[in-house]
Structure 1
Amino acid sequence: MPAHEFTLEDLKRILREGAGADEGVDLDGDILDTDFGSLGYESLALLETGGRIEREFGITLDDETLTDAATPRSLLEAVNALLVPAEVG
């Protein structure tokens, strides 16, 4: 089981490491509900981001998860749903 949840700080770090940051976008602002396209991250950058998340957190993201996650909040929720073990009982 992973040591911690996938946080917004994790996502921002991975985005910067994998695809950099658009000069006109402040990733430190309120970006949870901002579309990735508006943040300067298109599909190729998100695929790279997904690969980095998979390697770092030991999960597998399907293509639909990445294409359906239009905002940082939706990607965080999708990744964390995979990190939380199923309830027993």
Structure 2
Amino acid sequence: MVTQEFTLDALRTTLLEGAGTDENVDLNGDILDSSFEDLGYESLAMLETAARIEREYTIGLDEEAFAAASTPRLLIRLVNDQLTAAQSA
């Protein structure tokens, strides 16, 4: 079985493709514990991000858990937990 993992690089790509980035934000920097709000991503951009992740990785993300994932680190953990659960099913 192929193990799929959602990485920080995958998140960066998803954010850039879905919502772009503010010119004052360096997504290549240490962003793991920065809030998405501080990175310039409002709720609509995050909804687009969730939809892209769900399509790309063929998973469903719980809305409340997604809303609580306020940093890249938390979102990556959420997605990987969901991927692990889907692969175990």
TM-score, length-normalised on structure 1?
0.91
Inter-CA distance 69–81: structure 2 relative to 1 (3 Å threshold): same
Amino acid in the other structure paired with 2:64: E
Amino acid in the other structure paired with 2:41: Y
Distance 1:85 1:14 in 2: 21
Distance 2:2 2:56 in 1: 9
Instruction: Say if 2:49 is the partner of 1:46.
Output: no
Partner residue, 1:18: 18
SS in 2 for 1:26: coil
Distance 1:78 1:2 in 2: 19
Task: After the TM superposition, list the runs of 4 or more consecutive aligned residues in structure 1 that deviate by more than 6 angstroms.
Answer: none
CA shift for structure 1 position 85: 3.7
Q: Provide structure 2 residue ranges, at least 5 long, that are not aligned to the other structure.
A: none
**Higher share in helix:** 2
Matches within 5 A, 1:28-39: 28-39=28-39
Q: Provide structure 1 residue ranges, at least 5 long, that are not aligned to the other structure.
A: none
Q: Please, what is the CA RMSD of the aligned residues?
A: 1.7
Distance 1:65 1:39 in 2: 19
1:45-77 superposed Cα distances (whole Å, 9 cap, x missing partner): 000000000000000012112210000000000
Q: Percent identity?
A: 57
Distance 2:3 2:13 in 1: 17
Structure 1 stretch displaced more, 67-76 or 2-11: 2-11
TM-score, length-normalised on structure 2?
0.91
Distance 2:51 2:2 in 1: 16
Amino acid in the other structure paired with 1:17: E
